[in-house]
Amino acid sequence: MNGNATQPQPAEHSGILSLWRYAAVLVLGFASGLPLALTGTAMQAWLVADKVTIATIGFFGLVGIPYTFKFVWAPLMDRFELPLLGRRRGWLVLSQLAIAGALWWISSISPSANAKGFALVAVLVAFLSASQDVVIDAYRTDVLSPKERGFGASLAVLGYRLAMFVSGGLAFVWADLEKGRGWSWGYIYQVMAMIMIGVAIVSLLLIPRLPKHLKAPKTQAWHDLVGFLALVLAVAMGYCLTNWVAQPVLDGAFQVKANAANQKWSDLASLLTGIAITLPLGWWATKLTRFETLNRSMANYFAQNRAVVFLLFIILYKLGDAFAGALLTPFLLKAMGFASAEVGFVNKMLGIWLTIGGALLGGALMIRIGLYRALLWFGIGQFLSNFGFCLVAVSTKGAWGSFTFPAFNWGIVMLKEATQIDYQLISVVAMENITGGMGTAALVAFLMALCNQRFTATQYALLSALSAVGRVWVGPFSGVLTEVMGWPMFYIFSGCMAIPGLAMLLWLKKDVIALDAPEKVPEGED
């Protein structure tokens, strides 16, 4: 049973109002995607430029941890509304301005000279970005009617990828010393901060308000605040226990002093130990302090049939893609020796447009084939695409030939010198981005279908956090695995990691089809 089945839906279905809602979803998708690349692929390129090792870059993937725990503070955004701006809008503007400030801050830090400080501010950017995502995901789920969700999901991915075209593709070309503008990464991050300020102004002035019937859940505000603070304290305790107790023990067990190369294995074991300590502490804290909005929203979600199984499926569905993309930028720049401008053009600029095309195609196909078949067909495409990077890894650069892309100057982006574009690279990237965009559109529609609109921010935050588990947590594993396996075997492994999600989808066929059924509105409600 769909968690939203008894919720009244917006009555405004006129073409103009639908277009306005779609436009808002597109703009907010852009706002969501811009900071993500700046704590992901763009940050990796900055680290590569500063001569940071591959294993260390893998561990830097952990700056995205807030994306996997955003459901912890999402209840506060469900429960409390900032004055004057209405439900969702106030949190949107506040988070976007805060992201701009954090990006300006990190632009002044050198990752090689102050790695710890750089990592901490990067975590802050990720925390603020994850908070913005909580509100954007909830807003999109609330403002779109059920019939608008498929195409709305595609537009969200479109905006998201357009932003990554800017913070990923254009940024790579801007940073190229020989063929681009030669801007420093610090200056590029300042440009991104200014763009986020512009997005905040648009959010303040132009996005439509939510339907009036969507109100914040009525819970004890004091319990929510105390519950959240207790949860933060539990996480801090888990971190301290891991850092002060578990880490020294593991360093001794792995004989780190005698063999410094074992440090990466000790760090990996420490990470898993920290999770095992912190999660039970956090759960106990929410129960003890009656973190009411979190507990009620979680109880509402878990009342659904197959609720736990759906959570596992969400983690597994994009896991193969997560492994393939975890270290793609260092793989192309450092291992394969492609130029920054070539990677920016193929993997970021062209690749992102192909992802956008895949997302729009996926949204259009979902209207005809339904959610289940979309998840299945698009998932198979994602599975096959992963093996393309194995082909790149075992081939020599230029194995399929290349063509010359001419120099240009379009103002916002320029290429000072003509650059060679590898045919094999562009083919593999095209396959990966098209199928990835289609799979992402299907997964976003699936997550929206699972949410109850009384607790949209919290429930969608939980679901989308789990969908980000692979993208964030596979980084340390990927860095270690590539050093042990080598790149070709690593990409074979990444392809195989897509199989469990597809197998689970076949098992859940009837349940997924039921989620896609038309929703019933109670009698007497519009």
Cα–chain center distance at 265 = 26
pLDDT bracket for residue 10 (50, 70, 90): very low
pLDDT above 90 covers a percentage of the chain that reads 12
pLDDT in tens, 198-227: 999 998 888 877 666 555 555 555 666 776
Residues 6 or more apart whose CB falls under 8 angstroms from that of 302 comprise: 308
Helix, strand, coil percent content, the chain, rounded in steps of 5: 75, 0, 25
The confidence score (pLDDT) of residue 231 equals 72
Directed axis angle between helix 263-288 and helix 221-241, to 10°?
150
Supply the DSSP string of 119-136, one letter for each residue.
HHHHHHHHHHHHHHHHHH
Longest CA–CA separation in the chain, Å:
74
- What pLDDT was estimated at residue 521? 42
β-pairing, 414-415 vs 408-409, is: antiparallel
463 pLDDT band, cuts 50/70/90, is confident
Q: 139: closest CA among 311, 6, 300, 23?
A: 23
Angle at 378 between CA 373 and CA 379, to 5 degrees: 100
Please compute the mean of the pLDDT values over residues 220-248 and round it to a whole number: 75
Residue whose tokens read 């969700």: 149
Q: Which residue has the tokens 């093996």?
A: 387
Beta strands 419-422 and 402-405, pairing class: antiparallel
Give the up-direction half-sphere exposure of residue 209: CA atoms within 13 A in the CB hemisphere: 9
Average pLDDT value over all residues in the chain: 78
Q: What is the DSSP secondary structure assignment for residue 58, as one 8-state letter?
A: H
- For residue 287, which phi and psi values (nearest 5 degrees)? -70, -45
Rounded mean pLDDT, 370-397? 88
Measured CA distances, 68 to 141, 298, 467, 492, 522 (Å): 19, 16, 8, 26, 35
Task: Identify the pLDDT of residue 104.
Answer: 95
| Average pLDDT of the residues in 395-414 | 74
Residues forming beta bridges with residue 422, ordered by sequence position = 402
Highest averaged pLDDT of the listed ranges 89-93, 150-154, 219-223, 265-269: 89-93
Residue that has been written with the tokens 């989620």 in this structure: 515
Mean pLDDT of 464-487: 74
- DSSP result, 275-344: HHHHHHHHHHHHHHTT-HHHHHHHHHHHTSTTHHHHHHHHHHHTHHHHHHHHTHHHIIIIIS---HHHHI
Average pLDDT over residues 19-39: 88
Position 9 confidence tier, pLDDT thresholds 50, 70, 90: very low
| CA 311/CA 88 separation, integer angstroms | 25
CATH 1.20.1250.20 residue ranges of the chain are 15-209+290-515
Judge contact between 446 and 512, C-beta under 8 A.
Answer: yes
For residue 10, the Cα-to-chain-centroid distance in whole angstroms is 28
| Residue 510, C-beta contacts closer than 8 angstroms, at least 6 positions apart | none
Please name the amino acid found at residue 69. Answer: F
Q: What pLDDT, on a 0 to 100 scale, did the predictor assign at position 3?
A: 47
What is the reported pLDDT for 260? 67
Give the three-state DSSP class for 220: coil
The pair of structure tokens assigned to 155 is 């537009």
Residue 200 confidence (pLDDT): 93
- Model confidence at 372: pLDDT above 50: yes
For 37-65, the pLDDT digits (tens) are 898 878 888 888 877 777 677 777 778 77
Q: What is the pLDDT of residue 413?
A: 63
pLDDT at 454 over 70: no
Q: Give the pLDDT confidence score for residue 5 in this predicted structure.
A: 42
pLDDT tier for residue 134 given thresholds of 50, 70 and 90: confident
Indicate the pLDDT class of residue 292, thresholds 50, 70 and 90.
Answer: low
- pLDDT score of 194 more than 80: yes
The CB density around residue 240, as the number of other CB atoms within 10 Å, is 11
List the beta bridge partners of residue 420: 404
Between 26-30, 146-150, 155-159, 182-186, the lowest mean confidence (pLDDT) is in 146-150
Report the pLDDT value the prediction gives residue 274, as an integer from 0 to 100: 73
Three-class DSSP category at 411: coil
15-209+290-515 CATH fold: Growth Hormone; Chain: A; (1.20.1250)
Please give the pLDDT value at position 345.
73
